[in-house]
Amino acid sequence: MKEKRKVVITGLGVITPVGCGSAAAWEALKAGKSGIAAIKEFDPAVFDARIAGEVKDFTTPDFLDRKEARRLDRFVQYALAAAWEAAQDAALVPDSMQACRCGVIIGSGIGGLRVIEAEHKNLLNVGPNRVSPFLIPMLIPDIAAGRVAMLFNFKGPNFATVSACASGAHAIGVSARAIQHGEIDLAIAGGTESCITPLGLAGFCSMKALSTRNDEPERASRPFDKERSGFVMAEGAGIFVLEELEHAVKRGARIYAELAGYGASADAYHITAPDPEGVGMALAMESALEDAGLAPEAIDYINAHGTSTAWNDLVETRAIKRVFKEQAHKVSVSSTKSMTGHMLGAAGAVELAVCCLAMKDQIVPPTINYENPDPECDLDYVPNKARPVALKAALSNSFGFGGHNACLVIKKVE
């Protein structure tokens, strides 16, 4: 069998509630800074949950004029900004690339919910003739990937992955497979989301999935803590430049890490709740480790899905124990959702970026708000303060409604 090609990460860009751009976001995460606050986008007074991880100080990229920006939902603008940062970080010169050998795959769990709500009001209040002709291309989740491909003139595989909170991780994993099997040499890949809207918030509130610690927003997201009471909605984007190793070396690219493993599975259990024993989660982790050719003992850090819901955090802990056995209590595990909130379809991509930056600086970000240990969640969650770690390999977990599981493994390139 033909040996699969190695895939490396040469650029990354993020838009997050704790900072726009990887440098600002990473400094905030290392410092244990929360990006959760009272919702500013609209008046949330009538909602049970009135807090979120909104992106702050975002500016429309310079390459978009005002008219063009108005025709793009915010989740697409976030993807474009993060993709531009990733391309700059990777020192890409798109015109020098073979366009048909470069793909763009970007996931989004929900897509343009904001424009759906706005145009539905137009339909009801002033009639169908006043609905924007840009409604459909503004709302469809694949438009982020399509618009980024237009930005760079990349003509290889181009589509979206839509698998709830695993969307970004699936996009990265599928992109890596396309490179490994020789379909393309380079991919722009990741996830993006922006659905903190009245309808989005109402839906999650009705599910009783959200934290209602409205008076203490910075303490609301508390993964693995005994007093966790729900996740906090958030928004953002994480985008990568992935390349075949020799392609990167030939152009002298700086390499963050090898994207060594990808595993995906289904719980096949429930529309929102995970399998109580974590079998599906464990299967995805085991598949990613096998793909990477690594034993569990080789992993130095796990960026957990860690949503701050009672059930997810317990089941993920069980799944980690199922895979890592006695090593489970030795590996550093943290949830950066304690600071960013849950970015839904963008979460897996942003959290893989965290793993890359952690490997670069040899420091693991903390799980903040970890104050009251849960006897059933008894791993090393790197409580409240970043920790230096000799980091050679890391695993990132992403689990979505519908039982969609995706795990990614990176390892240091010597």
Catalytic residues: 165, 305, 342
- Closest C-alpha among 262, 273, 328 to residue 301: 328
Query: In 119-245, which ranges are E strands?
Result: 158-159, 186-193, 236-244
Helix-helix angle 167-180:347-361, to 10 degrees? 70
DSSP line for 120-184 = HHHHHHH-GGGS-TTHHHHH-TTHHHHHHHHHHT--S-EE---BTBTHHHHHHHHHHHHHHTTS-
Q: Could you tell me the two tokens for 385?
A: 């303060």
- Closest C-alpha among 190, 164, 25, 32 to residue 104: 190
- Closest C-alpha among 358, 356, 310, 365 to residue 336: 365
Cα gap 35→45, rounded to integer Å: 20
Helix-helix angle 279-292:310-324, to 10 degrees? 40
**Exposed e or buried b for every residue in 208-234, given b needs 16+ CB within 10 A?**
ebbbebeeebbbbbbbbbeebbbbbbb
Cα gap 82→55, rounded to integer Å: 13
> Which letter does DSSP use for residue 338 in this model?
H
Spacing of C-alpha 37 from chain mean position: 20
CB 273, CB 309: distance < 8 Å:
no
- Identity at 269, one-letter amino acid code: Y
Q: Could you tell me the two tokens for 278?
A: 């974590």
